[in-house]
Amino acid sequence: MAGLRPIRYAAAAALAALLVACFAAGAWAHAVLVRSTPAAGGSVPAGELAFELHYNSRIDAGRSRLTLTGPGHAGTVLPVRAGAVPDELRAAATLAPGAYTLRWQVLATDGHITRGDVPFTVTGP
């Protein structure tokens, strides 16, 4: 009878270790946009613009999509580049003045897709 107790403790410890490992890996996290360049509602000068999107978890850049909608309401799919770190996406475009929206759709490593918009303004010279 006394022999059962250590086994139960070992099972509980193993379960606890597994839970900690899952949470540490961020396996539960959908990707949420933490900050971006340009910032939502921000403005940037016309010309070449480097987009940077930072998320709260790792992103599969190859299965993520960035679409830029400009003043003419035409959407352009931007080539997505992986960032310097796994929770970042990058893209670049040359923009004329006007109101734009960057629509992002990303695949997080937990297999869930999230979407959002970053509206911003490009100002003239």
- Number of H-type helices and E-type strands within the chain: 1, 9
Q: 30 vs 103, which CB is nearer to Cu ion?
A: 30
Under a CB-based contact definition with an 8 Å cutoff, are residues 84 and 53 in contact? no
CB of 110 to Cu ion, least distance (A): 4
**Under rule CB under 5 A, residue 112 binds Cu ion:** yes
Which of these ranges, 5-13, 33-41, 52-60, 106-114, lies near Cu ion under the rule CB under 5 A? 106-114
Q: 56 vs 101, which CB is nearer to Cu ion?
A: 56
Q: 30 vs 65, which CB is nearer to Cu ion?
A: 30
The DSSP H or E segment spanning 48 is strand 47-55
- Distance CA(78)–CA(98), nearest Å, equals 18
For the record, the structure tokens of 111 come out as: 């297999």
Chain positions 22 to 61 lying near Cu ion, rule: CB under 5 A, are: 30
Interface residues toward Cu ion, by CB under 5 A: 30, 110, 112
